Amino acid sequence: MPARRRATARPRAALIFGDLWEFDPAPETADPRLKPRYELFIGGSFVRPRSGRYFDSINPANERRLAEIALAGPADVDAAYQAAARAFRPWAATPGRERGKYLFRIARLLQDRAREFAVAETMDGGKPIRESRDFDVPMAAAHFFYHAGWADKLDYVVPGRSVAPLGVVGQVIPWNFPLLMLAWKIAPALAMGNCVVLKPAETTSITALKLAEILQDAGLPPGVVNFVTGAGETGALVMGHPAASKVAFTGSTEVGKAIMRQLAGTDRKMTMELGGKAANIVFDDAPIDQAVEGIVNGIFFNQGHVCCAGSRLLVHEPVADRVISRLRNRIRVLRVGDPLDKNTDLGAINSGAQLAKIRRLVASGVREGASLFQPPCRLPARGFYYPPTLFTGVTQSHRIAREEIFGPVLSILTFRTVDEAIEKANNTPYGLSAGVWTDKGSRILRMSTELKAGVVWANTFNRFDPSSPFGGYKESGFGREGGRQGLLDYVRLAGGGEP
């Protein structure tokens, strides 16, 4: 028998996972330059809270206290709005090209201190250093650069019409991308001539307060940006303050609805960036290995704490077994553990409360009859960790297919036809993002037209750019951040009216 035929008859060698994939620890050692206590940032200075109260920010990777954070009460939020209102007229009257210079300076100073910010972000929030270093911090700087470029081009925001700033804007952000969400919010507001009162999430306030140091170094006029820290009660004060011309909220749909109820009947301009339950749809003609990487990135990036995470995988039946088996192999080699280790793929879950929510929803998936797969994986003894998780045999009525888990948990469903994929993808109250994996351009065009989602990625997932507007449909919210569309939410047409 010829040698060639003998060779093809041999069984295919299986990839060996296990000890071969062990790495030595590679901890990031840059100094995050944390202070033991952070005050409020009002009128360009760090000030003690009139409430006299502080709360702890802990490191979710080991549950140790990182710093004390001031808790802003009604008098503090009021002081922040007063400072912003005083700063507004001179800031709005500053020529756009001068405002742009401040934004450029902020971007450059953030780049100068990028490694320090990345370490602080990872310690405060639990995300892998690889992501804070390569994504969060550079992307935050990119947003300041991008909007710096818009500041002197106000005449081109709505061609043929001149635009004017709104006034003081109240902003509240979540904990999953603390610095980046802050940049998404304050860069367009400042570029268009508004002043800001912003509240970071209570578990991740530190990088906002470090950015306040940069605002001071950049010489930003006092009061143009103010940071008040605290939990939901402080957030409600920021959103409900009568001096706010507009409020911008990013967070859960539940809290977004509460804010809308709170502000119903007022003429407050609003934007809401809320939750999601995105479908990542893989057709049988997709490049399967590339799709598997996209699925992994879609759901395990930032431990799945991503509003646009591809948390529902819809896979075409002819390739379902192949995709699922490759996914299982792929997640066996994901490294879960110390977020400061440069080899870590999945860091810590942001808080004990979020970990409890993930566990509750996973338990509901098992109870309702879906099949759970978790690779064997050693989790650190202290801190909040959860292994990468796949559910097969999921039906549309399962809670894990309907509710946002906001963790490293993928629910896998199958489909036979394009129409079925579209119907299943749209069968959700959310509409933030979706992914399509196929070789056919015509199918991509049809899917992107028929999927009710603010962003549809084709043959990729979780791609962001400051020039690309981001936002939702249905219960994922309204308004856009990024691009020219994002600017429109921070201006009115001169002489009145909506852009």
Measured CA to CA, the distance from residue 314 to residue 107 in angstroms comes to 39
Decide: is 40 part of the binding site for ligand NAD (CB under 6 A).
no
CB of 464 to ligand NAD, least distance (A): 10
Which among 184, 297, 212, 230 has a CA at the least distance from the CA of 77? 230
Q: Give the DSSP H or E segment for 46.
A: strand 45-47
The reply on whether position 175 binds ligand NAD by CB under 6 A is yes
Joined tokens for residue 91: 């800031």
Q: By CB under 6 A, which span of 125-133, 269-277, 334-342, 409-417 interacts with ligand NAD?
A: 269-277
Comparing C-alpha atoms, which of 235, 253, 252, 245 is closest to residue 270? 245
The least CB distance from residue 407 to ligand NAD, in Å, is 11
Q: Give the shortest CB-425-to-ligand NAD separation in angstroms.
A: 17
| 139, 158, 231, 334: which one binds ligand NAD (CB under 6 A) | 231
Site size for ligand NAD (CB under 6 A): 30
Residue 100 vs 479, nearer CB to ligand NAD: 479
Does residue 131 touch ligand NAD according to CB under 6 A? no
Which of the ranges 96-104, 145-153, 231-239, 484-492 carries the binding residues for ligand NAD, by CB under 6 A?
231-239
Tell me how far apart the alpha carbons of residues 60 and 415 are, in angstroms, rounded to a whole number: 38
Nearer to ligand NAD, 92 or 231 (CB): 231
Q: How far apart are CA 362 and CA 418, in angstroms?
A: 29
Number of DSSP helices (H) and strands (E) in the chain, helices first: 17, 20
Give residue for tokens 């280790």: 341
Stretch of 248-256, 388-396, 416-424, 444-452 lying at the interface with ligand NAD (CB under 6 A) = 248-256
CB atoms within 10 A of CB 448: 15
Residues 47-106 that bind ligand NAD (CB under 6 A): none
CA distance 78 to 76: 5
Q: Which long-range contacts (CB under 8 A, 24 or more apart) does 418-424 make?
A: 418/443, 418/446, 418/447, 421/279, 421/281, 421/283, 421/314, 421/316, 421/447, 422/447, 422/450, 422/451, 424/279, 424/314, 424/396
The secondary element (H helix, E strand) that includes residue 478 is strand 477-478
Among 103, 201, 314, 320, binds ligand NAD (CB under 6 A): 201
Q: Which of these is catalytic: 39, 131, 195, 307?
A: 307
Which one of the listed residues 39, 202, 273, 403 is annotated catalytic? Answer: 273
Q: For ligand NAD, which residue of 251, 304, 310, 486 counts as binding (CB under 6 A)?
A: 251
| Matching residue, tokens 């605002």 | 215
Considering only residues 304 to 333 of the shown chain, the ones binding ligand NAD according to CB under 6 A are 307
Kindly tell me which of 122 and 176 has the beta carbon lying closer to ligand NAD.
Answer: 176
433 residue type, one letter: S
Q: How far is the CB of 350 from ligand NAD (least distance, A)?
A: 8
Chosen residue from 232, 352, 393, 499 binding ligand NAD by CB under 6 A: 232
User: Is residue 307 flagged as an active site residue?
Assistant: yes
Q: Which residues are catalytic?
A: 273, 307
- The footprint of ligand NAD (CB under 6 A) covers 172-176, 199, 201-202, 231-232, 235-236, 239, 250-252, 255, 258-259, 273-276, 307, 404, 406, 432, 472, 476-477
